[in-house]
């Protein structure tokens, strides 16, 4: 029985992870849950999975949760310290890091320091501080298993192969809901339109990032650190059907890919059960029914956001953290109706222009750079 701490349990990934746990009684137990403010959903999860420790983002949410659970309440903590306590809980054998945004970095880093194997959905942990997190994981002998479907695909396509023989990684992207929207319509795209993802149901931030292709840029940064591959050997390919989840090309020109239906329970269960695979009753991949798979290059003129990730990696140090913070700020403003869709990439580019990167020495410094980027972006959108 593997005992799990799930960080971000009330989110899209967290809920699907708990669905996998519920489908496999006796295989997993829930030791700890960390969430933000959705105490109604968290209370249901506590009743269903009976964790030892729970954390929420602030004291008010903790009070409300205590009230809702009454005498049946486990220990309830709050804030960064609470999420870190869940991430380092001695009773947990595995940590699923699925908090959204830069807020997930401290708890991921704490899990690594505590020597816990991590299933990583929170790509921002590696975007903000990939070099540090991966170095500490290697020093502590900690396994980081990707949950992002593209990185899970690459991880699976690397299995049994020699890493020195990799020529390039190819990250596929659905292209998002605006793939066919012409350049002159981009400024008029509404939040509702940008949130209508054709293939995946995800949290709001990552869905908007999919619409701008910033998500793919962040995934390039994630892949750069997770697989230790230089950015000029990581390519992006638009694949609207989202069946080929990513590929690895080897030095002999052969390409290994992983295919599956668009259901995050696939990569989630792969990470949770690794090195085993578990039988899941997900809909099978019926390629005859899919009929054809299409591919096209990404268009940097309509979707400039992904190019900023390469630029940030080239700038190095704190630049990816500043970019990530800027994106968080401006996406929040877009969702609140305070700026146009095409302002997202423009503002992020302006923030990157202004950033003077420093060599990255600590998690605190990465978070400070992300906060700086966010403040700069918010100042620009007014």
Ligand X SMILES: NC(=O)c1ccc[n+]([C@@H]2O[C@H](COP(=O)([O-])OP(=O)(O)OC[C@H]3O[C@@H](n4cnc5c(N)ncnc54)[C@H](OP(=O)(O)O)[C@@H]3O)[C@@H](O)[C@H]2O)c1
Interaction site with ligand X (CB under 6 A): 8-14, 34-38, 57, 83, 98-100, 103, 121-124, 148, 200, 202-203, 206, 264
User: In the bound complex, what is the minimum distance in angstroms from residue 206's beta carbon to ligand X?
Assistant: 4
> What are φ and ψ of residue 80, in 5° steps?
-55, -40
User: In the bound complex, what is the minimum distance in angstroms from residue 279's beta carbon to ligand X?
Assistant: 22
User: In the bound complex, what is the minimum distance in angstroms from residue 239's beta carbon to ligand X?
Assistant: 16
Question: In the complex with ligand X, which residue's Cβ is closer, 8 or 117?
Answer: 8
- Sign of dihedral through CA atoms 107, 115, 15, 239? positive
User: In the bound complex, what is the minimum distance in angstroms from residue 183's beta carbon to ligand X?
Assistant: 26
User: In the bound complex, what is the minimum distance in angstroms from residue 372's beta carbon to ligand X?
Assistant: 18
Question: In the complex with ligand X, which residue's Cβ is closer, 39 or 377?
Answer: 39
**Closest CB to ligand X: residue number:** 11
User: In the bound complex, what is the minimum distance in angstroms from residue 275's beta carbon to ligand X?
Assistant: 21
Question: In the complex with ligand X, which residue's Cβ is closer, 239 or 380?
Answer: 239
User: In the bound complex, what is the minimum distance in angstroms from residue 34's beta carbon to ligand X?
Assistant: 5
Question: In the complex with ligand X, which residue's Cβ is closer, 200 or 310?
Answer: 200
Question: In the complex with ligand X, which residue's Cβ is closer, 103 or 221?
Answer: 103
User: How far apart are the C-alpha atoms of 308 and 212, rounded to whole Å?
Assistant: 11
Q: Are strands 244-250 and 255-259 parallel, antiparallel or unpaired?
A: antiparallel
253: left (phi over 0), alpha (psi -120 to 50) or beta: left
SS3 letters across 117-170: CEEECCCHHHHHHHHHHHHHHHHHCCCEEECCHHHHHHHHHHCCCCHHHEEEEE
Question: In the complex with ligand X, which residue's Cβ is closer, 250 or 261?
Answer: 261
Q: How many CB atoms sit inside 10 A of residue 71's CB?
A: 4
Q: Give whole-number Cα distances, 153 to 66, 160, 171, 193, 235, in Å.
A: 40, 14, 9, 28, 14
Question: In the complex with ligand X, which residue's Cβ is closer, 64 or 311?
Answer: 64
User: How far apart are the C-alpha atoms of 159 and 86, rounded to whole Å?
Assistant: 31
Which residues fall within 8 angstroms of residue 9, CB to CB, at 6 or more apart? 15, 17, 18, 33, 34, 35, 42, 45, 98
């Amino acid at each position: 029985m593997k005992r799990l701490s799930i960080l971000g349990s009330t989110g899209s990934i967290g809920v699907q992870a708990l669905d996998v746990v519920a489908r496999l009684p006796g295989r997993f137990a829930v030791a700890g849950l960390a969430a933000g403010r959705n105490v109604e959903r968290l209370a249901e999860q506590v009743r269903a999975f009976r964790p030892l420790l729970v954390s929420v983002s602030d004291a008010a949410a903790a009070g409300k949760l205590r009230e809702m659970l009454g005498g049946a309440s486990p220990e309830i903590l709050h804030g960064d310290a609470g999420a870190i306590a869940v991430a380092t809980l001695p009773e947990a054998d595995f940590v699923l890091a699925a908090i959204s945004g830069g807020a997930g970095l401290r708890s991921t880093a704490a899990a690594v320091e505590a020597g816990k194997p991590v299933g990583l959905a929170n790509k921002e942990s590696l975007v903000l501080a990939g070099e540090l997190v991966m170095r500490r994981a290697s020093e502590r002998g900690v396994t980081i298993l990707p949950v992002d479907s593209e990185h899970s695909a690459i991880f699976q396509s690397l299995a049994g192969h020699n890493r020195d023989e990799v020529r390039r990684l190819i990250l596929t992207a659905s292209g998002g809901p605006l793939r066919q929207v012409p350049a002159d319509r981009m400024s008029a795209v509404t939040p509702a339109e940008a949130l209508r993802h054709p293939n995946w149901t995800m949290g709001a931030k990552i869905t908007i990032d999919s619409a701008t292709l910033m998500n793919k840029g962040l995934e390039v940064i994630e892949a750069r650190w997770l697989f230790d591959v230089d950015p000029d050997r990581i390519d992006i390919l638009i694949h609207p059907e989202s069946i080929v989840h990513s590929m690895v090309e080897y030095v002999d020109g052969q390409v290994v890919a992983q295919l599956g239906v668009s259901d995050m329970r696939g990569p989630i269960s792969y990470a949770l059960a690794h090195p085993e695979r578990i039988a899941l009753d997900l809909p099978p991949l019926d390629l005859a029914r899919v009929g054809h798979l299409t591919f096209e290059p990404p268009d940097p003129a309509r979707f400039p956001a992904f190019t900023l990730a390469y630029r940030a990696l080239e700038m190095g140090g704190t630049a990816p953290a500043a970019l990530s913070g800027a994106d968080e700020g401006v996406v929040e403003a877009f969702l609140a109706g305070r700026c146009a869709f095409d302002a997202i990439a423009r503002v992020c580019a302006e923030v990157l222009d202004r950033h003077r990167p420093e060599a990255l020495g600590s998690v605190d410094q990465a978070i400070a750079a992300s906060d700086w980027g966010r403040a700069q972006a918010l100042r620009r959108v007014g």
